[in-house]
Amino acid sequence: MALAYDSEDPMDGTPGLPPPRVAYDRTPIHRGSVFAVERVTFRDDAGRVIVRDVVRHPGAVTVIPVLADGSLVMIRNWRVAVGAWLDEFCAGKLEPGEDPALAAARELEEETGFSAAHIRPVGVFFTSPGFADERMYVFEATGLTPVPQRLEVGEQIEVVKRSVADVETMITRGQLIDGKTLGAFTLWKHGASGSGVAPMGSPELNP
C-alpha cells in the first residue's frame, strides 16, 4: 500500500519519480472533525522498520482578496492552539469532494464579509509535510463587494485592510508569522499563476 506522496500528481516537478518507501501497515489512531491521525509502518533503505504518526487532512484554501485600490483584505484571528492573535489571509478546510475555488469564495464571504467577482488560482503547497499531507490551495480574489459576514460559532475575527508595502514590512519585522499567509503572499507577489493547482472543478468563478 503506497503512502500519500505516491501520487499521480507529484508536486516536486519530477513526474514519474517513484516514492522511496512503501507503507505495509496503516493503523488509524484518531479521527476528529478537522483531521485524522494514522500510524504508518514502513521499511527504510536498509530494511529497518520505521513507524511514523501522520496527520491526514482533506486540504484547505486561503484567499488573497485585492481591493480596487490594490490594498489587501486580511484578518486578525484568535488562534486557540497558540493563544495569540495572528494576522492572516482568510482560509478554511475543504469539505469532502469540494471544489477548492468554490471553497475559496465561501471562506472569503464567511470570514471577511466580501464577495468576489473573480477567483483566480495562484498556487498550491504542502503546509507541514514532515508530519501531515495537507495541501493548501491559494487563490486571489478581485472585484470585491461587501456582503454579510458569517462567522462560525467560536470564531474571533477582525477584518483589516493593509497595503502590500505594509505586509512586506510586517514580514521583515517578524510580525506576520502565520505560515500559510507567508507562503500565499510569496506565491502571489512572485506572480504565480496557478501552476500545480489541480482543483476539482473550474479554476475560476465568473471569469
Name residue, grid cell 505594509.
Answer: 166
Pairing label, strands 135-146, 60-65: parallel
- 6 - beta bridge partners? none
**Using CA atoms, how far apart are residues 117 and 167, in angstroms rounded to an integer?**
24
Q: Burial-class residue 176 by CB neighbours within 10 Å (0-12, 13-18, 19+).
A: buried
Burial state string for 98-108 with b = 16 or more CB within 10 A and e = fewer than 16: bbbbbbbbbbb
- Determine whether 88 is an active site residue: no
Which residue in 77, 123, 83, 82 sits closest to 100, CA to CA?
123
Q: In what order do the strands lie in the sheet with 114-126?
A: 91-93, 60-65, 135-146, 114-126
Pairing label, strands 23-31, 36-43: antiparallel
Residue among 95, 155, 158, 204 flagged as catalytic? 155
The residues assigned a catalytic role are: 155
